[in-house]
Amino acid sequence: MEIYSFKPFLAIVASLLGAILIVATRKKPSLREGCSIAAGIAQLVIILSMVSAVLNGGTLRFTLSSFIPQVSIAFRVDALALLFAATASFLWIVTIFYSIGYMRLHREQNQTRFYAAVALTLTATMGIAFAANLFTLYLFYEALTFSTYPLVTHTGTEEAYAAGKRYIAYHLGTSIAFLLPAIIITYTLSGTFDFRPQGVFPAGANTTVLVVLYFLFLAGAAKAALVPFHAWLPAAMVAPVPVSSLLHAVAVVNAGVFLIFRVILNIFGRDLIQQLNLGIATAVVASITIMLASFYALRLDNLKALLAYSTIGQLSYMILGASLPNQIGETGGLIHIVNHSFSKITLFFGAGSILLASHKTKISEMAGIGRFLPWTLGAFTVGSLSIIGIPPTAGFVTKYYLAIGSIQSGWLAVFFVLLVSTLLSAAYYLRVIRTVFFGSPGENDNAASVEDEEQQHDVIHPMGEVSYFIVAPMILTAVIAIVLGLFPNLVLALVRQVFR
């Protein structure tokens, strides 16, 4: 059942108006941040108002413009769109509160530009989530790249601008070289840009062309950070923690995964994907990405870099689920869009809190810090256990569905990848937890005297937890990561609608 509704467009406009109000109130920081919060709440309320219709089997549609035949800027809200949009919108609000504490305590410059760019980023994210066709999705996909560039380069350092160049090169380069040609070829073969439940290609389409086309889409989805298009993500970690939290744990990376899900479900269709053995090919690419990212993370000492490579692997869990030839595996991939977002943003929030309290970025320098930042490291531990997949956290639900899906489909190699990568993630996250809770300050400096250790102790822990604005969002997302593990049906009800 299709329902004509302005709501998808209103959700996009809410964050766009928020960006305008943020700039207009730039001379009054509290009012500026209040406008950002208000815009986020308004957007989330609009999104949640569409949940009932979608759960009842409806699809909301709105056409903004049809300027030439078969080409329109149109929006379509189904279960997959709501899953992505609601997660990003809710976590935008949480990140705003966190950013208020972080940006002020860290004395960041250009805060108005930061809040406005984040609002524009959410505008582009909603456009991607609600896109009814490839043309609309492509417009907002490119808009997401440009709106996030000021955030990646926010600090204005040479390192930041170098990361920004890489960011643009990967995203704009791959979308023009691969994604745009893929969209044009799709239209040539099918005569439409629209997303359709069973795919768009006619029965007689050339299989070789379809296989090449599919890999063009995969290469064009650089935001999903599949190997070899993953290097932009660790480089972008030069940005402030709130940027890494929302953009590189939720909005940007999930946009890439969302694009791949749309291609699999609504451009090719699940039957054609399996008929052409593209599910196996996708699983191979995702598995290689997971293993390389996991092994590389083992050797890292920088906490944000470790989280970046962990993110690369976790994104491929979602894609791995999409590649499995059964609904159970696909459910694991879809639900991980939500589960990973809440778990990983908790970890990034924790990294930011540690930085503000101790000015430390290396894990080896954080020995014993958990005794002075119990709330921060407690939440960080929950996020870590969820990424590893320990019950009763959200990550366990993901691993359960992926494991059962891989076994039932007979893809034991995928199950082996899940098992090994879980052990690897346990190794590097438990190393962090052991260091921060059971390590002694100065234990990694064998040459340090007792006096030096005491002085280091005073410098590292001058005030403990830094701000309620920092701690509260982190605890909230950690609690939700547990709630999603205990009550997965809160999200599964929406995920099941994707397959109807």
- Which residues have a Cβ under 8 Å from the Cβ of 141 and sit 6 or more positions away? 124, 128, 175, 179, 223, 255, 259
For residues 438-457, average pLDDT = 50
For residue 256, tell me if it sits in a domain: no
Worst-scoring range by mean pLDDT, 321-335, 399-413, 415-429, 454-468? 454-468
For residues 303-311, average pLDDT = 94
Task: Tell me: pLDDT of 452 over 50.
Answer: no
For residue 64, tell me if it sits in a domain: no
Higher pLDDT, 247 or 199: 199
* Angle ∠(243,312,369) on CA atoms, nearest 5: 60
Question: Are 343 and 393 within 8 A, CB to CB?
Answer: yes
Encoded amino acid at 488, one letter: P
The pLDDT-based confidence of 204 (bands split at 50, 70, 90) is confident
Worst-scoring range by mean pLDDT, 102-111, 164-173, 322-331, 394-403? 102-111
For residue 34, tell me if it sits in a domain: no
* Angle ∠(296,297,303) on CA atoms, nearest 5: 145
Domain count within the chain: 1
Query: Which uninterrupted H or E stretch holds 233?
Result: helix 232-235
Please give the structure tokens belonging to residue 450: 């007792």
Task: Tell me: pLDDT of 331 over 60.
Answer: yes
The pLDDT-based confidence of 458 (bands split at 50, 70, 90) is very low
For residue 494, tell me if it sits in a domain: yes
Quote the mean pLDDT of the chain: 91
For residue 327, tell me if it sits in a domain: yes
Question: Are 324 and 279 within 8 A, CB to CB?
Answer: yes
For residue 302, tell me if it sits in a domain: yes
Strand 59-68 versus strand 71-77 pairing type: antiparallel
For residue 357, tell me if it sits in a domain: yes
Query: Which uninterrupted H or E stretch holds 369?
Result: none
For residue 144, tell me if it sits in a domain: no
Query: Where in the sequence is the domain holding 317, given as residue range(s)?
Result: 281-500
At residue 131, the 3 state secondary structure works out as: strand
pLDDT tens-digit readout, 42-78: 999 999 999 999 999 899 999 998 877 778 999 999 9
pLDDT of residue 461: 39
| Helical axes 79-105 vs 29-48, angle rounded to 10° | 160
